[in-house]
Amino acid sequence: MQRKRENTRFLHRIKAEREEECVMNTVQILMMLTILIYLAAMIWIGAILSGKNRTTDDFYLGGRKLGPFVTAMSAEASDMSSWLLMGLPGVAYLTGTADAAWTAIGLVIGTYVNWLLVAKRLRNYTHVCNNSTTLPLFFSNRYRDEKRALSVIAAVLIIIFFVPYTASGFAACGKLFANLFGLDYVPAMIISAIVIVAYTTLGGFLAASTTDFVQSIVMTLAIIVVFGFGIMKVGSFEAVMANAQSMAGYFSLTQIHDAATGTASPYGILTIFSMLAWGLGYFGMPHVLLRFMAIEDVNKLKLSRRVATVWVVISMFVAVFIGVVGNAMSKVGVIPTLEDPETIIIVVAGVISQHGVLAAIVAGLILAGILAATMSTADSQLLAASSSASQNILKEVFMKDMSEKTGMLIARITVLIIALIGVFIARDPNSSVFQIVSFAWAGFGASFGPLVLMALFWKRSTLQGALAGMVSGGVMVFVWKFLIRPMGGALGIYELLPAFLVGLAVNVIVSLLTPVPSKEIQDEFEKVAKM
């Protein structure tokens, strides 16, 4: 009799395990289908818009026909790469609010100021200045650089910094599929890259901008659902706050938490300024600045600025607090303690998926949100790097008589080549998304940021000053990152701040030491200033 009861219990256990396995398989299928439908929709958009790319100008700038909402949301979606849903929450989960919050504050300020000061002036100046369709081309046209040295060097810098930036996006996609479905990292990363390349090569800038608009909506839904679900599972927002305040320096803007020792260390004023310096990067981001150049009606930029700023404030706040909520979820046992904090949203989505069919679909949408964050940046970066290689190097230097048909072919080929290089760099699954993005952000901010500001707002800036400032800012990023910053102490600040200041100072000094710009350049500057 006893043996019969044991056999019955054993059979019931086996049945329960099989049922659970079946449920798990169903959940995974639903999540995968949701993601596949999302990916197919992005490719479909690219295919629809492919017919509108008749010239290289259409392919790279969309004929300057973007509406205010698409301009706003595509600019921010292309900016908020995978680090918004992976990097920023991961930092907050591990070390508390200080690092993540000051970074977010700097980015919010930078977003608003960039829209306020740069957007309108850049749109008007690029149009007046021989209808410049890329940032490097604008630099050369603005300073009457007949040898195109400025645009070629700028194009090289874009390729140098955008390739690893794009690679970070591919890496984020690889982590997503590897963690969720137990796939090998490399094949998962390659499949994601293929989808991004597909709709980008088909639809160009219009496809990238339109999909970015859709992706910004998906990203917003993803972070709000994860945030709300996390609070519910912990018990209340008060419980989340109690957990954060129980750890030394965790919920502070002047201290940082050490998870290994459980202690706090000071978060000094230099470090705060270093993180706020993230905002300076906006002035030099080619994929963001392109959206300013592409808006159809300059008078609608005010609406775009308001929409963009509100979205950034909300998304940044929620992203930081997802890390805080996630830490509390680990403490109460809802999720395990994470070895890789950057996977927090993936793990939470997995927990959500266990609450029925509808929850599994929602979890699929959350994961699609991570893809959206990644893809919305990667597509813009691919286009910017491709335009630099095909338009600013090949066409301007080697193939000046290139036909439009040839130009479109080369544009698509360069997108593919750059993507392949990005895939090669992203082959390491242990690479940090946040670290890769932070270095590329510094590179663009320091090399292009001062140059954009000087070109738009200082009539006395010269070609020689522009060249010297751009190169010195870019070089200083490498010098500070690899030679000076490792020394630590006051020198351990984020490389963007000192490199930006060096680029700005060199531009001013060299400009003052070289002849005044021609009357033609000054008259053009005055014309734009009055618009």
Which CATH number do you get for residue 424?
1.20.1730.10
Token pair, residue 149, equals 């040295």
Residue 268 per-residue DSSP state = -
Identify whether 167 is part of a domain.
yes
Identify whether 20 is part of a domain.
no
Instruction: Check if the beta carbon of residue 91 is closer than 8 Å to that of residue 259.
Output: no
The domain containing residue 126 runs over which residues? Answer: 45-529
Instruction: Check if the beta carbon of residue 342 is closer than 8 Å to that of residue 90.
Output: yes
Identify whether 67 is part of a domain.
yes
pLDDT at 367: 80
Give bridge partners of residue 256 from the DSSP assignment. Answer: 265
In the block, residue with structure tokens 């706003």: 72
Q: Which of 103-107, 167-171, 459-463, 490-494 has the lowest mean pLDDT?
A: 167-171
When mean pLDDT is compared over 69-73, 137-141, 388-392, 422-426, the highest value belongs to 137-141
Confidence of residue 12 (pLDDT cuts 50, 70, 90): very low
Confidence of residue 79 (pLDDT cuts 50, 70, 90): low
Identify whether 19 is part of a domain.
no
Domain count, the chain: 1
Confidence of residue 22 (pLDDT cuts 50, 70, 90): very low
Identify whether 6 is part of a domain.
no
| Residue 70 or 256, more confident | 256
Identify whether 217 is part of a domain.
yes
Which residues contact residue 517 at a Cβ distance below 8 angstroms, ignoring those fewer than 6 apart?
143, 459, 460, 461, 462, 463
Mean pLDDT of 91-113: 91
Residue 340: burial class (beta carbons within 10 Å; 0-12, 13-18, 19+):
middle
Mean pLDDT of 134-138: 85
Give the Cα separation of 459 and 142 in Å (integer). 11
pLDDT at 459: 94
Query: Phi and psi of 267, rounded to 5°?
Result: -110, 90
Give the Cα separation of 18 and 153 in Å (integer). 61
Residue 11: pLDDT over 60: no
Residue 422: burial class (beta carbons within 10 Å; 0-12, 13-18, 19+):
buried
Helix, strand counts (H, E) of the chain? 21, 2
pLDDT at 81: 63
pLDDT 10s digits, 360-379:
888 888 887 777 667 667 76
Identify whether 31 is part of a domain.
no
* CB hemisphere CA count around 127 (13 angstroms): 19
Token pair, residue 347, equals 């793990």
Identify whether 35 is part of a domain.
no
| Residue 161 or 95, more confident | 95
Query: Phi and psi of 256, rounded to 5°?
Result: -125, 140
Q: How many CB atoms lie within 10 A of CB 488?
A: 8
When mean pLDDT is compared over 136-145, 287-296, 343-352, 384-393, the highest value belongs to 136-145
Residue 53: pLDDT over 80: no
pLDDT 10s digits, 487-515:
887 788 889 999 999 999 999 999 999 99
Residue 20: pLDDT over 60: no
When mean pLDDT is compared over 133-137, 164-168, 257-261, the highest value belongs to 257-261
Confidence of residue 52 (pLDDT cuts 50, 70, 90): low
Which residues contact residue 128 at a Cβ distance below 8 angstroms, ignoring those fewer than 6 apart?
524, 527, 528, 531
